[in-house]
Structure 1
Amino acid sequence: MSPPPTSVLLPTTRWTPACDEVAAQLAEDDELLVVCDAETDPVADHVRDQPENVRLVVAGEPSGCSGKANAIAAGMDAARHDRVAWTDDDFRHPPDWLAGLHADYERHGPVSELPAFVGRDPLSMLLEPVYVLGGTASVYAGDMVWGGAVLFERDDLEVDAFLADLRRTVSDDGLLSEHLDATAVRRTRRVEIGGTVRESLERHVRFTKIAYAHDPVGMSVSSVGITGLVTASLLVPVYAFVVAALLFAGCYAAFGIRRWTAVLGYPALLASVPLLAYAYARRTFVWGGRRYRWRSKFDVELVE
């Protein structure tokens, strides 16, 4: 049986290979909503040359939420179908990507894939083991949602309540994880991150604040536990290095991630302690060219 008509939301300001890849997978009644901030974004002209089932949605400037949350909210309002997929423009979508999500939905209901973050600068490469632990393994273990590859139907959650909350927060997938009972499948997508140390610092601050905003108790316990573990490991650094490398290599293998950075497990854990303190101390962070002050889950200020 064919899946029902589906709306795919893809927030971006420029046309990337991911846009072509997703557009090529649409069935006759599906639609791809390319969501940008303004008519002047480079992606706008490109969308006008696409087939009718590829539509442009102009979200406008965010107010009281992140640009990503604002884009997803606008896309959800514009979507014509009850089955909805979210995705991003920064990873490869193989020809069976959308079909795979449909098949998973038939087995599990709402479903999400997993990100595998790959660094492009020294800091983001160093932190890859931390992100495999916190951004891949923990999403899978907790059946959380990754906004880069998630599929659900409107009846699977209270859409109006979700959108009202979305328009006053930062993390689209962090919030969706609280509103949607989803299954995370053990299938990863390689997402390149960073580029400069400054970009990687800002991303790490954002990741840390997202984790704390949506699970303050769990994040606090994890922070204390990591700090204590790292402090104790300083007494036997050679053994700690070997054990961490082996454990992270096993974690990488479990999710099909083939990266040499598994050997950086111990230095990554060492670096995570001062970076946690740095992230907690930061009052603002930059994401997508905008600076945010995020006081609590539903208290977001855009800083000029």
Structure 2
Amino acid sequence: MAARPPMSVLLPTTRWTDACTELAAQLGEGDELLVIHDNEADPVTEQEVYPEGVRLIAAGEPERCSGKANAIAAGMNAANHDRLVWTDDDFHHPPDWLATMNSDYAEYGPVSEVPYFVGRDPLSVVLEPLYASAGSLGLYLGNQIWGGAVMFERDDIDEAAFLDELRRTVSDDGLLMEYLEVTTVGRTRIVPIGGSLHEAVERPVRWTKILRWHFPGTVAGTCLVSLFVLAVAILVPLYMAVFLTAAHVAVNEILGVRRWTAVLAYPALFVFVPLVFYALVRRTFVWGGRRYRWVEKFDVRVVES
């Protein structure tokens, strides 16, 4: 069996997290882990010694794009290898994570995993069932990309055009979906989200705007279907409560996750639908401590909070 090529793992973060340690321990010969932060004031720069294969990359402040897009663009420019892995610092990477992704690439070509978002605050907990059905299930069934766990090679995309557009937009994986076809392997990663009411509200705003600019037909369909389901839920509440709960139990089974929050599917609907329409009319949103105004698909402005 031919040896796999070395890879560059891109991990945007301003802090040294468990994910950094987990990934550094999985690097093979010639591999590198690029920890991409903003500037020298970030806590991740405070360590005196870093594991072998780890490089810190200062991306600088974003000007016309999100901090995440800016970090990924800087990481791709700094990476030494053609095989690239994008991942995030907010979920557990088991000891065989990189090896398994490489095996998947050998079999399928570009691959991605699926996130399952678990709330850390009351609002995010309530919204869990709809994040699973409206978000995770669509990624799983549609072979769509999650930027937290995707592997591809430079030749798989038009890299120059991609990086040019990445530096002018918000969503790294939303844009990558336009350049790359992947196979979504049957693994789901638990991703804790939220922690405060503010974070819980800002997240659906950002996600809705990603759909608004990258997949306008999807967001229009989501609005229409949500309104219809909400109307039926009001007219026949008992039947819909049973149906929605059963449907979300089934969604969880497909995704391989068992969460008691499926029983919140009915009340979640009454929170989710207003949030979607609120997100559509919001002019700005906060992500990673920065406030953005997303005027057009490739017109992003970082504004004062």
The answer, yes or no, to whether TM exceeds 0.5 is yes
CA distance in 2, matches of 1:21, 1:50: 13
1:143 match: 143
**Secondary structure, in 3 states, of the residue corresponding to 2:189?**
strand
Conserved 8 A contact 2:8-2:31: yes
Distance 2:290 2:278 in 1: 20
In structure 2, what is the equivalent of residue 120 of structure 1?
A: 120
Deviations 1:200-221 (A, max 9, x none): 1011111111122111012102
Shift of 1:38: 0.3
Indicate yes or no: 2:25 matched with 1:15: no
Equivalences for residues 145-184 of structure 1 within 5 A: 145-184=145-184
1:83 matched to which residue of 2?
A: 83
User: Following superposition of structure 1 onto structure 2, how do residues 21-40 of structure 1 map, counting pairs within 5 Å?
Assistant: 21-40=22-41
Aligned partner of 2:288 in structure 1 is: 288
Contact in 1 for aligned 2:113/2:189 (Cα 8 Å): yes
Q: Where do 5+ consecutive residues of structure 1 fail to align?
A: none
User: What is the CA-CA distance between 1:229 and the residue it aligns to?
Assistant: 1.6
What is the one-letter code of the residue matched to 1:213?
A: W
Corresponding letter in the other structure for 2:41: T
TM-score (norm 2): 0.97
SS in 2 for 1:169: coil
Instruction: Report how far residue 146 of structure 1 moved.
Output: 0.5
Give distance in 2, aligned partners of 1:255 and 1:212. Answer: 25
Aligned to 2:45: 44
CA distance in 2 between partners of 1:202 and 1:36 (Å): 22
What is the deviation of 1:14?
0.3
CA drift of 1:135 comes to: 2.2
- The question of whether the paired residues in 1 share the 8 Å contact of 2:24 and 2:52 is answered with no
Counterpart of 1:100 in structure 2 is 100
2:98 pairs with 1:67 = no
- CA displacement, residues 177-202 of structure 1 (integer Å, 9 cap, x when unaligned): 11111111120111000001111101
Measured in 2, the distance between the counterparts of 1:74 and 1:205 equals: 26
Residue 270 of structure 1 deviates from its aligned partner by 2.0
Match of 1:273 in 2: 273
Q: By how many angstroms is 1:40 displaced?
A: 1.3
**Aligned-residue offset at 1:85:** 0.2
Alignment TM-score, normalising by the size of structure 1 = 0.98
Using the TM superposition, give the Cα deviation of residue 242 of structure 1 relative to its aligned residue in structure 2, in angstroms.
0.7
CA distance in 2, matches of 1:302, 1:265: 35
Deviation of 1:52 (Å): 4.1
- Counterparts of 1:229 and 1:260, CA distance in 2: 22
- Local SS of the residue matching 2:235: coil
How much is the aligned-residue C-alpha RMSD, in angstroms?
0.9
Counterpart Cα distance in 2 of 1:264 and 1:233: 13
Task: Report how far residue 231 of structure 1 moved.
Answer: 0.7
Q: 8 Å contact 2:232–2:240 — kept in the other structure?
A: no
SS in structure 2 of the partner of residue 234 of structure 1: helix
Tell me how many residue pairs correspond in the alignment.
Answer: 303
**1:74, 1:164 → 2: CA distance?**
12
- Code of the aligned partner of 1:56: L
Partner residue, 1:217 = 217
Amino acid at match of 2:60: G
Deviation at 1:51, TM superposition (A): 3.3
Runs of 4+ in structure 1 deviating by more than 3 angstroms, as ranges, are: none
Q: Which runs of 5+ in 2 are unaligned?
A: none
Counterpart of 1:226?
Answer: 226
What SS is found at the alignment partner of 2:177?
helix
